[in-house]
Chains A and B, each alone.
Chain A
Amino acid sequence: MEPGSAFADLTSTLEALFATGVGANLDEGSFNELALRVFAFQFGANAVYRGFCKRRGSTPDTVTGWEDVPAVPTTAFKYVDLACVEPSAAEATYVTSGTTSGSERRGRHHVPSVALYRASALPNLRAHLVPEDRALTLLSLIPSPAEAPHSSLSAMMGFVAEEWGEPSVWLGGTGGSIDLEALGRAARDAARRESPVLLAGTAFAFVRLLDELARAGGSLALPEGSRIMETGGFKGRSRTVGREELYGALEARTGVPRGRIVNEYGMTELLSQLYEPVLREGPGASGRHVPPPWLKIRALDPATLAPVPAGTPGLLAFFDLANAGSVSHILTQDVGAVSPDGVRIRGRAEGAEPRGCSLALEDVLGAKEGPG
């Protein structure tokens, strides 16, 4: 079978699986079978990844469990093209966000099939943000896909807009600006129509929004049944500390109760996302993220990459079937504790205290990975 049709075959299998939703019946054995099929495809179609796997002594002939599929560090996306198609043939190339100086390298995720991304993202969004599966008003502080064609997050908000947005109002500029006046108008309009709102933004955008609301002395009353999606709040320590404060202020300014503010954890390098299941399970689920069944998570010892016991913090690695067109096994720089009920994300892997006065090069140049 030539690679093109092998991929088509694989994506149709996966799309059918994802379509059954986050309740999909996918036992360990079936996941492993699919994962090995995905690995075999990636090994065959991605020469760079194949070379890497051979170097590590792992090929489809030797690997019997998905855990042993070589994991690619997210940093590599900055330096190497990791796709099962020519980058120019990818339907989309999503780029990691950078610092304002813009001098550093960005990770690039070449995605051969946006439909597969959509197929993974939508059921998860439905389960955690739109369980009633009815039209709502999307107020997005995240730039639209037209404005930010290389943002995987914008693409995802585009999926939301197509599926549920009646209307969808794009309020975030690529420079991080927020059109406060348009936001107020759209919120009043939604209230008049009694249309629940999904207000979506990054933690950074919400902090900015709250600052501007405070300065203007106003609030943003959202209709009954509204919800908020916040993302990117787990990158870096200071933000984690400020989370309770941020959510409290959001509740106070928008009237959306704490239990309807949902954190999304995602990254450009992964086409599936994790959510705090607060809408499904109540506010007690805050602080815990759950993956869809087609995304497996492990916490690893950063020195040996051996799994740590359940509930113990470790370096997070993901195996994402939705990444079939690029690389599925991804090693992050984030720390979390994995349990059967999900993952508690702690933030970026760091020592207890910085240990040296020598400096890693990327730090000198101000590089930073950001939310997708």
Chain B
Amino acid sequence: MSDPPRSEAQQRADDMAVFQTELARLEAEGVLRLDAAQQQTLRQHHAALLASFAVRFDIDRDTRAKQMSLGMRVASFLGALALAASVFFLFYQFWGLFDETVQVTILLGAALASLGLTLWIQTRDASGYFSKLAALVAFACFVLNLVMFGQIFNITPTDRALIPWGVLALLLAYACDLRLLLAAGICCVIAWVGTRVGQWGGIYWLNAGERPENFIPVAALLFAVPALFDLRRRSGFAATYRIFGLLCLLLPMLILGHWGAASYLAGFEGFETHNIEAGYQLAGFVASALTIWLGARHQWPEAINTGIIFFVIFLYTKFFNWWWEIMPKYLFFLLLGLSAILILVVLRRLRRVLGSGGEGRP
């Protein structure tokens, strides 16, 4: 049997705690009572599993440990940011003292050494906090490596640098099971695909953001990744891909719904700016509603939440456009409150329908 990943071990430990609590309740209510031998076997089995998980993965055994781990995650993230900033300013502080050859050696050496250090720490750190910290520093060192090359040798800025950055971030994310670096890698992919699409449309790569439609094609790519590859053994990876895919679809729609002049369609005859805006507003409503439906159907909570957030934003911006100028403010906010209640009622009904539809399923 292969080793379960850390997330599965943590899930098993959580399930054991829930099982013990429910078993104690059932015993107190007189519904189920295990005899002494069964209790002993169960206790020993759980204790052995927890001990083995704790040695291999440094998992959280109880709620207190879980709360501590959240604090450690925050500390690890802040520490990584601080260390990356420290490396950056260290280079700047002493940069003028070195000639070009030494500068290149330092930049290349720092990128390679930080990568090696990350992988060395990973073999010794069961919790993953220190390897996460080191992985972020390794990524920062590599980004700094190419950025500083650009400054030292006056290289023309290019979007091609996003490719190795994205590949390294994804490599470290998969090797160390880190969602933060996965997000960094996905951001590089989004930026690169967006700039490429922009360049095909005749836009200089640094101005690709002026046409939000450039980022819509990458949404399909990101949404396809969890459908094409099995990511069940990587905790939260599929959800991260879907969230970024939805952001790449819904954010451009939100922007173009209020800034139609930025659309490619604005260059064609017969497409008035206000018609483009109306079209994107309608598309935004439909897309966010479809996202909620799709998330509910496939049990993707992150898709449901993203869909709801964007639906509400589309709705409230529309309310603002319609009524902010013509209505008394108390009436405007009353309508916002009433619409929030209506949304809650609809979602509760949806949850009930989905709940009854799911009954009896394994």
User: Is chain B found bound to chain A in the same assembly?
Assistant: no
